[in-house]
Amino acid sequence: MHIAPTLRRRGLLAAAAGLPLPFVRAARAQPSGEPYVMGTLFPMSGPNAEYGEAFTRGAQLALSHIAADNMLRRPIRLQAEDSQALPQPSVVGMNKLVNVDRAVWVLVSWTATSKAVAPIGDRAKVIMVNGGAVGPDLAGLSPYFWNVIALAHLEVPVMVGYLTRQRNVKRVALIYVDDPLGDAILGQLRAELPKAGAELVGSFSVPRAAQQFGPVAARVRQTRPDAVYVASFGGQQSQIIKGLRDNGVTQIICSYSAFSIDSVRQLPEAVGALYTTQKLDFESGDPVTRRFAAEFRARYNQTPVAYHANYYNAAYLFGLLARQVEQAGGEVNGDALREAMLRTRSFDLVGGRGTFDEQGNLMTQMQVNEIKGAGRSEIVQG
């Protein structure tokens, strides 16, 4: 039996997510005058709620700027669904956003949950934008799934290069969460360390719900590493850092962009830890970055981090693209927004001029940051 390529791709997406593909209607046009609906699938409860709050703050600021600048003829309503950073609640939330709220643009996060909801958004032709998950297989997941964050295949080589060239690291141990994100970073380290003349001397998988890491830290110490890479997120990564230090592991601790949250940067045991992010200079002279940084500090009494910028960009991009569609007299839907992105490609966003590739990945430079304590980080390479 012949299967059309588009249907085959959607079936593969569902199989990759390990979930049945639910019935999803193509997104219906919203009646003229009603707000555009922008959905969010963030963890708003549970151990990863800190991320959901950070992601939401970035998006909210972007929507306030879109409204203040009268960019669109209709307002935008932000509709939040609690993903709990888990696939099943995310699928439920995505179905509601698509079939009930008629969202045309959904902000997503987490590798496993993104892969779970991608078939739904793909079938409904709803744009999904990720600013938090870094699994390399999120690139090209769907024509309607875009990334405004550097994925692991960009983050890990930068950290490996810095460790080996600037810190003379030869032996790296990995503690990684047992999920697609952890598996992806394990694969990247296995590939990149030998290229740099280093080796992975131990890899230790931990369950998502684990919070006690004394035995794992003891096994890490026995590998005599020069650095320990932590591939986890939320409250768990803070407990891993504490477990390592409490059990006598004094070597460099490093990670990807998940370390940029305040609960890690304020942790005394995390002082000296390294993490990668896309290149962001909040003191930059470009007007979008300057406006974002100043108004974020004023609104939230907080210095912004990469996640705030990512979800600002993810939401602000909707305003830029929807304005193009409106001005051309078109209907603001997934296909029209995607056509506008592919036609334009480059946009003024936080961090400077950003350019998307054909798969919807924002191309960006990278930097390495070092935690200095009391919520501060400094750029050590970038």
Helix, strand, or coil (residue 368): strand
At residue 18 the predicted structure's pLDDT band, cuts being 50, 70 and 90, is very low
In the chain, % of residues over pLDDT 90? 80
Mean of pLDDT over the chain: 91
Q: 366-373 and 274-278: which strand pairing?
A: antiparallel
Bridge partners for 356 per DSSP: 362
User: Do 10 and 134 lie in a common domain?
Assistant: yes
User: Do 237 and 376 lie in a common domain?
Assistant: yes
For residue 30, the model assigns a pLDDT of 52
The predicted-structure confidence for 238-252, as pLDDT tens digits, reads as follows 999 999 999 999 999
User: Do 345 and 371 lie in a common domain?
Assistant: no
For residue 15, the model assigns a pLDDT of 39
Angle at 369 between CA 367 and CA 375, to 5 degrees: 140
Mean pLDDT of 302-330: 96
Provide the residue range defining the domain that includes 372: 152-280+367-381
User: Do 119 and 246 lie in a common domain?
Assistant: no
User: Do 117 and 173 lie in a common domain?
Assistant: no
CB 252 within 8 A of CB 281: no
Q: Look at residue 29 and tell me whether its pLDDT is greater than 80.
A: no
The predicted-structure confidence for 34-93, as pLDDT tens digits, reads as follows 999 999 999 999 989 999 999 999 999 999 999 999 999 999 999 999 999 999 999 999
Q: Look at residue 363 and tell me whether its pLDDT is greater than 80.
A: yes
Sheet containing 346-349, strands listed edge to edge, beginning at the edge strand earlier in sequence = 346-349, 352-356, 362-363
At residue 374 the predicted structure's pLDDT band, cuts being 50, 70 and 90, is confident
d(CA 124, CA 26): 4
Say how many domains are in the chain. Answer: 2
For residue 16, the model assigns a pLDDT of 38
CB 308 within 8 A of CB 54: yes
At residue 31 the predicted structure's pLDDT band, cuts being 50, 70 and 90, is low
Q: Look at residue 230 and tell me whether its pLDDT is greater than 80.
A: yes
The runs of H, that is alpha helices, within 100-202 are: 111-124, 152-166, 180-195
User: Do 233 and 291 lie in a common domain?
Assistant: no
d(CA 344, CA 328): 14
Say which CATH number the domain at 326 has. Answer: 3.40.50.2300
User: Do 137 and 51 lie in a common domain?
Assistant: yes
Residue 208: φ, ψ to 5°: -60, -35
For residue 22, the model assigns a pLDDT of 42
d(CA 240, CA 297): 30
CB 242 within 8 A of CB 268: no
Choose between 6 and 62: higher pLDDT: 62
Element (H, E) at 93: helix 87-99
At residue 234 the predicted structure's pLDDT band, cuts being 50, 70 and 90, is confident
The predicted-structure confidence for 140-190, as pLDDT tens digits, reads as follows 999 999 999 999 889 999 999 999 999 999 999 999 999 888 999 999 999
Q: Residue 105's closest CA among 134, 136, 74, 84? A: 74
For residue 13, the model assigns a pLDDT of 40
CB atoms within 10 A of CB 238: 20
At residue 280 the predicted structure's pLDDT band, cuts being 50, 70 and 90, is confident
d(CA 264, CA 63): 28
User: Do 173 and 275 lie in a common domain?
Assistant: yes
Longest Cα separation, the chain: 65
Q: Residue 131's closest CA among 382, 378, 343, 304? A: 304
At residue 283 the predicted structure's pLDDT band, cuts being 50, 70 and 90, is confident
Mean pLDDT of 335-357: 96
User: Do 225 and 372 lie in a common domain?
Assistant: yes
Element (H, E) at 274: strand 274-278
User: Do 126 and 168 lie in a common domain?
Assistant: no
User: Do 142 and 163 lie in a common domain?
Assistant: no
User: Do 262 and 172 lie in a common domain?
Assistant: yes
Q: Residue 350's closest CA among 291, 300, 301, 299? A: 291
